[in-house]
Structure 1
Amino acid sequence: MPELPKSVEIVEVAARDGIQNEQTILSVDTKLELIRRAIDAGARRLEVTSFVNPRRVPQMADADDLAARLPRGAARYVGLALNARGFERAVAAGLDEANCVVVASDTFNRRNQGVGTEDTLATWAEIAQAAKGRIGTGLTIGAAFGCPFEGEVPLARLLEVVERAMAHPPDELALADTIGVASPADVLERVGAVRRAFPDVPIRLHLHNTRNTGLANAWAGIMAGAVTLDSSLGGVGGCPFAPRATGNIPTEDLVYMLDRAGISTGLDLDGCIAAAEWLEAQLGHTLPGMVMKAGGFPAPEAA
């Protein structure tokens, strides 16, 4: 068995990817309370909003207002940006990082961002240059394990897009299983291939649990050398532009697994469970997380 890392970073994404596909649109005050509860549970890096067209994603229409009211100094805040305008809004909002996206399949890139992958790669080159000295950058390769419109995304295609993107290196590169189709073998192969090609860039994984493989894929990613994982409280989440792309890995499930393996995350399991239960009440429907229902490891019964 490979040596386990001592720690893994978790990026809490409930306030962005978690709620962007929900029918219930949360108020700014409710979103800020969600962020506060996540921070109280130990989250120190959070993706809090996306700077996108509010007509396409109405759940994110309050991005600038939310950013202006964030509790500064408590954590690092990330905003999603799909184009140059969104990037400049993230900078103006004073966020710590802009997370940009290039989709590995051209069809999905057009559905998600309105232009082809080539156009978005060109935009990324401009953003990477403009970001220097202004804001941290992450670049997510969407549909890195499969596309809802084109089907399989060959490894050669993924590496081609990564190589083009890495001509202008981000601070961090993420591989996203946007529609939750990856297997642990896929994760081992693709994270390994990217790490061999670009050993110096930190790898983050954005995994969806659509087909109940999310935690297994997270473990495979850690074994392959990914150092950061995205997750959302309660497992809430989904992409508005990808059919059936349901929930993220539940944060509390991920924390439980890593705690039991002796891998530190800095998050408190009970605090994560309480925050997930609170979010479930705000959204008004059952969330898919398992540990929020079962609790942590049971205490022994008294003799």
Structure 2
Amino acid sequence: MKCDLNFLCSCIAALLIISGCNHSESADTVDEPSPVTPVQVTTVQDSSLAESVELSAVSAYLEKSFVKANINGYIQSTQAVMGKQVGSHQLLFSLITKEAKSIGNSVNKLDAGFKFSGISNIRADQAGTIVQVNHQKGDYVQDGEALATISNRNSLVFLLDLPYEYNRLINQNKTVDILLPDGTKMNGTVSGTMPSVDSVAQTQRYILKVSAGKNIPEGLIAKVRLTKVNHAQAQVLPKSAVLANVTEDEFWVMKLINDSTAVKVKVKKGIESQQTIEVLEPRFSKNDRIITSGNYGIADTAKVKIQY
């Protein structure tokens, strides 16, 4: 009787263990719901995009005139000051011959008809800025000696040292934008080039003519943009919509095929701006929804939920 009771207890314990294992296995096999990623979407837009290269150019005044003495004598008075803006035919120097300075008005006292003064007035040949003054009042100068140097304000140009690899861009950029350090934007026109190339830097110098009217110091460094490619009707997406691999040689977007599923679509990238990227291939419909937020790291055919 005791043996039968022990056997019965063993059987009940075994049944309980088997029942527990079956319950655990059935619980493990219950399918969990797939994760749903919240996303934001956009559509493709048409926009004008241009790819350009930015180079440096230096301001310069090509034309400089020299104010010269026309007699031997002393500088009696001067209105030439470095940095002063002068007009055409403006009086700059007054010279007096050494004979007139030593004799004074003695000749006129002897005969008033002589009207002898020995003074010669020197004027500016053209308008501009005085960039150099060589002599001051009281100096003795000889005929033909330079008294001052004037830069012609109408001869302002920017000198662009262009790497020869970009030489072909000049043909499609006859007019360029010149950006000054203070934010001022000017239009420049290619007016000439030097027939030589720097042997070390392999750059060729081009002359960019700008309109006169703004007083720009010589030696100012400005930025010049040369357009490389210009697409008037480009298919663009926000930068956040286009994903790339580690080496950035493969690009793709996540496109919705319905309200809850996103698929991976490989794309060919074109021109890139600060905010957008041109998609060359494939051509998307205006109704295609492309994920812009929540697309990083999700797999192909991922489950998503649109957030508005």
**Shorter-chain TM-score tier:** under 0.3
**TM-score, with normalisation over the residues of structure 1?**
0.17
Higher helix fraction: Structure 1 or Structure 2? 1
**TM-score, with normalisation over the residues of structure 2?**
0.17
